[in-house]
Amino acid sequence: MIVRSKAPLRIGLAGGGSDVTPYSDMYGGAILNATINMYAYATIVPRDDGKIILNSVDNGEKYEFPAVESLEIDENLILLKGIYNRVVSEFTRHPLSFELSTYVDAPPGSGLGTSSTLVVAILGAFAEWLNLPLGEYDLARMAYEIERVDLQMAGGKQDQYAATFGGVNFMEFFADEKVIVNPLRIRYRYLNELAHNLILYYTKTSRLSSNIIEQQRENVLKNDATSVEATHKIKEQAVMMKEAILKGELDKIGEILNFGWENKKLMAQGISNPLIDSIYEAAILNGALGGKISGAGGGGFMIFYCPNNARYKVVKALAEFGGIPHRYEFTNTGLTSWSI
């Protein structure tokens, strides 16, 4: 028996940061994101020899352990260990013997939600194998708890829900920890045009998002007026983006992205840097109407809205910075699992 799963990575279009505690607990948050055809994959092969093998194929890390009820959480493959520990403690109550292999189409720290998407994919594989009673909201919530509570990893709430549900979603985050995922019914011609006009550009840099997120959290806790007001604007941006996409007013998207980018940079230090600023300026000078860093900031992927055929001139201009434009398509399918 082989159990497999995959979950899509996402592009954050608007509202990023308003889903992070304590802001979302105090004021509520709103996010608009869209999943793309880049994935996190997980494969589980059950074993009968009392061993656990964890294999991160893309990172070249592989470890073997005796099958115990709880794996020690150290610096090696902590996500995989944390998921296993949660599954055993909450569901099986006894050790499992298996080999778990994982792969992600984007590197860590790239801003596409790789870590959270990987957690969702692995949980999906365990749910398929063990027939766990997890609906979409249950699974996304558990993925969030494993990262943010069990493993104490800094971050927001959107990525787990995007990977689980898939598609273009307007997400609302409430003070009582409730999350509502609102799938948007967007005309295909609008969605295809958005994919054509929106460049996904990898800067070939990565960042430790936890540092930026921790500073953002501290700014909210100490009621830093500039940071809190900027996050309010970011939340408004999500509503603006939703209306523009649903109405097909796509050329407003560049302006909305730029509005969000100017405010996002005020939320915490390190969100931008001289390289990112230079890339952004070059994109605007060559026809982009707006853009942003994907994820918490500091590196990884950027997106730029380029109307008509401006994308070709922008891509050419960005070549001097050594990054890579990625072709992609939006996907409306979230977590998928199967066994053979």
Q: Any idea which residues carry the catalytic annotation?
A: 159
Angle made by CA atoms 314, 320, 322, in degrees to the nearest 5:
105
The position carrying tokens 């302006």 is 255
Give the list of residues 6+ apart from residue 167 with CB closer than 8 angstroms, or none: 34, 35, 183, 184, 330, 331, 332, 333, 334
* 3 state SS of 6: strand
Identity of residue 316: K
Cα–Cα distance, 1 to 157 (Å, whole number): 33
* 3 state SS of 72: coil
The position carrying tokens 């999500």 is 238
Residue 148 in contact with residue 155, Cβ under 8 Å? yes
Cα–Cα distance, 300 to 319 (Å, whole number): 16
Cα–Cα distance, 286 to 52 (Å, whole number): 52
The CA-based dihedral angle spanning residues 138, 141, 143, 146, taken in that order and rounded to the nearest 10 degrees: -120
Cα–Cα distance, 115 to 9 (Å, whole number): 10
- For strands 179-183 and 3-14, give the pairing: unpaired
Structure tokens, 206: 């990565």
